[in-house]
Amino acid sequence: MMDKIVVHEAAPRGGCDQDHGPPSGEIGQPGHHIVARLLRLIARRGGNAVGVLRVNGFDEPLDRFLTATLPSLDIASLQKLSSRASVELSDMQAYATGRLPFRGGDWRLLFYCLVGSRTLREAIMRTEELLLAIDGRMGNMTLRGTGGQACLSYTGARSDDEEMDFIVILHGQLMFHSIFSWLIGKPLEGTLALDFPEFARRHLDGQLLPFDLLLDADQLEMRFAAPLLDQPVIRTIADCEALPTLNFLFGLRTGEDPLEIVRRSRHFMAMALRERRKLPSLEELARHLSVGAMTLRRRLHSAGTSFRTIRDELRHEMAVDMLTNSRLSIEDIAERLDLCDSNALRRACRGWTGMAPTEFRRKLLQPSDSG
């Protein structure tokens, strides 16, 4: 699974004709534009656009997919189509420049390097080394800092096809931007400077981007706040293996995506319970996530949950685990769950299981009937 990985739709920052685009946070038309544009470009350049559809289980005629008014598709289908189309177009561009494409084994090497890093800085440096080691199949990058800003410059082979080069390079930078953001659980945002003329912007078709886009630059460069380089890498190889088949064309909206906020909230609260035996307050959690308390409430609500619900779910899960797999007393378990006393645990346990904790433990320890 690690050769195609996804992150959620971008919180838009830059793009083309944004005033006429859909509201922030909706996939809708931008996703359709991306898929239609990629398929049109593949078809016009003699690529296997039909194969992109067939491998994803679509039997409809290609013509139906070559305009922004695609057949009705959900987000997962858009992601699958754009993922395969992006790979196809990237491979076409690679062959046009006389180099080998980036393959599944290369992806696995990249992600093993990334999740073994301690900080974003180390992850980027390892990426630099890997790109050199695999003969520049995905170009080369160099990190430098200036005036509180990190500058990640990139060089790669180009064909004589400006549109294909522009789209492949833009999507490649989207991929790196999203991978690095995903690694630290925070959006890099910043600016992407591309050494393409300003009129290349017409190729965007209203696409929303997670960074500001600057064209007519002297060199291809990703710029973001330097302090992010010292952010710890929070992902593991298990996170990579667990991801569904996806791609990074929709960017990352870690700071906005309610489901990601829920995941990070649960992780922080669980670690606090395990390490300090104390749950953070809503305000402490909000500070950790770099959002306001009211904003955090709204985002949790939009994900169908709340601070109290997450707190109770964690206590429930940990209580069941300790009652099942330890000999801890009821008083010790209550303390580890940051409950005021054993009576509070008894009340909570009756709400979760319909039984007092000692009765629940006794029932679990009873041998089951063999029939």
Exposed, middle or buried by CB within 10 Å (0-12, 13-18, 19+), for 18?
middle
CB 306 within 8 A of CB 266: no
Residue 87 inside a domain? The answer is: yes
- 93 and 229 part of one domain: yes
Tell me which residue of 312, 285, 315, 288 sits closest to 297, measured CA to CA.
285
pLDDT of residue 232: 92
- 65 and 147 part of one domain: yes
Boundary-marking domain end, from 242, 271, 298: 242
- 211 and 284 part of one domain: no
- 126 and 25 part of one domain: yes
Point out the least confidently predicted range of 221-225, 274-278, 344-348. Answer: 274-278
Does the pLDDT value for residue 119 go beyond 70? yes
pLDDT in tens, 317-348: 888 888 887 888 999 999 999 998 889 999 99
Phi, psi at residue 253, to the nearest 5°? -125, 50
pLDDT in tens, 10-63: 333 444 333 322 222 232 334 677 788 888 888 888 888 888 888 778 888 888
- 69 and 198 part of one domain: yes
Residue 26 inside a domain? The answer is: yes
Question: Dihedral sign, CA of 19, 25, 26, 29?
Answer: positive
What average pLDDT does range 121-134 have in this prediction? 87
pLDDT in tens, 288-312: 877 788 888 888 888 788 999 999 8
Residue 214 inside a domain? The answer is: yes
In sequence order, which residues have a C-beta less than 8 Å from that of residue 26 and are 6 or more positions away?
A: none
Residue 7 inside a domain? The answer is: no
DSSP 313-339: HHHHHHHHHHHHH----HHHHHHHTT-
Residue 320: domain span: 258-365
pTM: 0.58
Of 206 and 149, the one with more pLDDT? 149
Exposed, middle or buried by CB within 10 Å (0-12, 13-18, 19+), for 306?
middle
pLDDT of residue 301: 86
Q: Where are the beta strands (DSSP E) in the chain?
A: 14-15, 140-146, 149-155, 191-193, 208-209, 212-214, 221-225
pLDDT of residue 11: 39
- 45 and 87 part of one domain: yes
Q: From CA 268, how far away is CA 311, in angstroms rounded?
A: 11
Strands, sheet with 221-225, edge to edge from the N-terminal-most edge strand: 140-146, 149-155, 221-225, 191-193, 212-214
- 72 and 153 part of one domain: yes
What average pLDDT does range 131-159 have in this prediction? 80
Q: From CA 257, how far away is CA 28, in angstroms rounded?
A: 16
- 51 and 81 part of one domain: yes
Q: Residue 306: what residue type?
A: S
Q: From CA 180, how far away is CA 189, in angstroms rounded?
A: 11
Residue 77 inside a domain? The answer is: yes
> Residue 345 belongs to a domain with what CATH number?
1.10.10.60
Residue 249 inside a domain? The answer is: no
Tell me which residue of 293, 273, 274 sits closest to 284, measured CA to CA.
293
CB 330 within 8 A of CB 357: yes
Residue 331 inside a domain? The answer is: yes
Boundary-marking domain end, from 242, 270, 288: 242
- 274 and 171 part of one domain: no
Q: How many domains does the chain have?
A: 2
- 222 and 263 part of one domain: no
What angle (nearest 5°) sits at the alpha carbon of residue 217, between those of residues 213 and 222? 55
Question: Dihedral sign, CA of 154, 157, 161, 165?
Answer: negative
pLDDT of residue 136: 62
What is the distance in angstroms between the CA of the first residue and the CA of the last residue of the chain?
A: 43
Boundary-marking domain end, from 242, 273, 302: 242
Does the pLDDT value for residue 314 go beyond 90? no
- 191 and 270 part of one domain: no
Question: Dihedral sign, CA of 169, 171, 177, 180?
Answer: negative
- 120 and 225 part of one domain: yes
DSSP-derived secondary structure letter, 290? T
Residue 252 inside a domain? The answer is: no
